[in-house]
Chain A
Amino acid sequence: MNVRTTNLREVAKKLLDKQKVDVVIGFKKGTIPLKNTPYFATNSQEADLLLWDGNCIGNLAVYLPKMAGKRAAIVAQGCVSRNIVGLIQEKQVDSNNIYIIGMPCTGMLDPRKIMAAVPGEITEATEDSLYVIAKGKGFEITLNRSDVLNRNCDRCTVRNPVLFDEIVSEPKPELKDPVRYEKIRAVEAMSPVERADFIDELLSPCIRCYACRDACPLCYCPECFVDKSNPQWCGKSQNDKDVLSYHLIRAFHTAGRCTECGACEEVCPMGIKIRLISGKVEKDIREIFDGYEAWKDLKTPPPLTVFQRDDPQPFVKE
């Protein structure tokens, strides 16, 4: 068992035993290789099931607004802690009811990358800090961990939590100036027609299950615009324009708020690289607003929520 898991269980047991919280939100081992399941531990026996490894996909902050007054401890790596800051800033959660168990992170594994690198069905997968070993019938293949990270994790510069009540280990080293947006730049360089074709192709497998929305801690609206029937903003059928509207409007709603956690992409059953769309919005915000990255502290609000008399954008004042 890795050190972070051991320490996490200790922390969780202490919090539950002393009744400082009602529940600890973390992960436990899943039923299939390369997938853990979010887990809500309510006593110290259950806390012994909590774990931390490269298969903790999704963003646990998504559960916080629905905790209905319960005092919840939550395991938070860099991205999740930023989303908690966002939920506090946007007044979706009461910070007095939240205890953040900080989790220095080394990135989550992309099961699709691992499956593509092996010749058959994976029956068991193990990892250490450098390698992932995937086993199946007639094969055992060792892969570099850094080669099979999620596309959001391999360029993450905020692996350590930005806000926490307690942290389970020493911080992990942060990446300096990783290569980002290479694909987004390539899409920007396309002609409008090529770009439209590219996006149509990108979204063509979408089945409108809305897993991307439902896994996103930014998407806490009680009624999403796609579900509204009066007025009906978006058609319900499997029509490419309606699918496009859904994805574009959702991406706009993440402007200045997206923490690049990548949950949307990780949960997509069809493997759509949705972050190519929301990533463009995130890139624009970073470039227009002096390198702004969402919710790295409790004080700085997202740029699109602030009005300043000396705003550099003239349209705000006109």
Chain B
Amino acid sequence: MEYMRLNKKNLAVFIEELQNKCEVWGPVKQGEQVKFAPISGAADINLDGFKNTTMSPKEIFFPQSEIMLSFRREGEDANIYRDEQAMPSKKAIIGIRPCDARAFRILDMIFKNDQFADNYWLSKRDAVTLVGLGCTEPCGTCFCTSVNSHPFDETGLDVMVADLGEHFLLKSLTKKGRELLAGSHVLREPSEANIEAYKTLRKNAENAMTIQFGAEKVNAKTVLELFSEDYWQRVAEPCLNCSTCSYVCPTCHCFDIQDEVFRGGGERVRNWESCMSWIFTVHATGHNPRPGKKERVRQRFMHKFKYIPMKRNGEIGCVGCGRCVTLCPVNIDIREVVKQMNS
């Protein structure tokens, strides 16, 4: 059965049922931020007015700082230990927005390809069942429909949920999703009207969003043509070269590896890193191939809209969540930049 229905009155019971199978995470308010965190029950989550989390949920699979291994001197020997974080517990994450789930699929392609597989990402990712929440009221800064996605995009999700008012409609999309929902006592078969309501909701949400830019010309131009455009100087002018855009972005995935050593041992840690920082590309010689902010700002947009599509069969490296639009301190708006690239 593809579709199921959950009366909102039974949400607490439903979450308990999930908790019998695995740990459950949901969007939780922590101070001014909303973030995904373990919940003890339905009372912990507040979906009223929930738009999206402040930070992208990539941190669940790709934490800002992650211990890769530890090492210590023990007697005559020096030993290396694998960190336990690499062996995560099973969990279900509920309330993931479709844009963020799509971002996971993009990162899957990067962290697992024909050359290597990143076990730190994959082990945590494999242990998670993603229950998405379709967007019925996209924000003014959202632009998913301009980057090959839409407010009910199912890419990367195991279950899609739509808010029908009195009920939630659940659509299982994968084996993992079906397993999570199997055996529930509160899920019911939906009526034809429920499914129709879901389809209307989906259509209305998509129609509510205007397509703000295309990528045809970006695709048609060569790397060198785009790279040599004059506008990069102007785009970069206000940039402060902070890392806000990269750190809040669901698809930015660059990292730096540091050995943190203290006395006879230490840890090898990988930390998020940003191409906005001069230190990201500086060589040991002191030479920096991206010496100024023009080169750094250009890199971020070229990576998302040219390099990733070239390497990954046209997949755009941006999902239109709009976090960078909202949080960039100087209002460098990615939508305006891509419009220029596509002009």
**Taking beta carbons and an 8 Å cutoff, which residues of A are in contact with B?**
30-33, 35-40, 57-58, 62, 112, 120-121, 123, 204-205, 207-211, 213-215, 227, 235-239, 266-267, 269-271
Contact = CB atoms under 8 A, between A and B. Distances in A.
Interface in B36-68: 49, 51, 54-55, 63-65
Given A31-B336, A32-B331, A210-B243, A38 B271 contact: no
24 contacts: A31-B333, A31-B336, A32-B325, A32-B331, A32-B333, A36-B331, A37-B238, A38-B237, A58-B240, A207-B244, A207-B247, A207-B248, A208-B243, A211-B240, A211-B243, A227-B277, A235-B258, A235-B260, A236-B269, A238-B63, A239-B65, A267-B329, A269-B244, A269-B329
Interface in B264-305: 269, 271, 274, 277-279
Interface in B225-280: 234, 237-238, 240-244, 246-248, 256, 258, 260, 269, 271, 274, 277-279
Chain B interface category by residue count: 35 or more
B32 A215 contact: no
Contacts of B54: 269-270
A32 B141 contact: yes
B65 to A, nearest CB: 4
Contacts of A112: 32
Contacts of B330: 37-38, 58, 267
Contacts of A32: 140-141, 325-326, 331, 333
Given A31-B331, A35-B331, A269 B240 contact: no
A266 B330 CA distance: 10
A121 B139 contact: yes
B140 A269 contact: no
Interface string B137-151: 001110000000000
A121 B234 CA distance: 30
B331 to A, nearest CB: 4
A37 B242 contact: no
B33 A270 contact: yes
Given A32-B325, A209-B246, A215-B240, 6 more contacts: A31-B333, A62-B240, A209-B244, A227-B278, A237-B269, A267-B329
A269 B327 contact: yes
B335 interface: yes
Given A32-B333, A37-B331, A215-B242, A120 B49 contact: yes
B332 interface: yes
Interface of B: 31-33, 49, 51, 54-55, 63-65, 139-141, 234, 237-238, 240-244, 246-248, 256, 258, 260, 269, 271, 274, 277-279, 325-327, 329-333, 335-336
B258 A211 contact: no
B333 A211 contact: no
B296 to A, nearest CB: 12
A40 B237 CA distance: 7
Nearest to B32: A271
Contacts of A266: 329
Contacts of A271: 32-33
Contacts of B333: 30-32
Contacts of A236: 256, 258, 269, 271
Contacts of A39: 237-238
Nearest to A207: B247
Contacts of B63: 238
Nearest to A204: B31
Nearest to A68: B292
A207 B242 contact: no
A205 B327 CA distance: 14
B209 to A, nearest CB: 14
Contacts of B329: 57-58, 211, 215, 266-267, 269
B169 to A, nearest CB: 24
Given A36-B331, A38-B237, A267 B256 contact: no
Contacts of B271: 236-238
Nearest to A120: B49
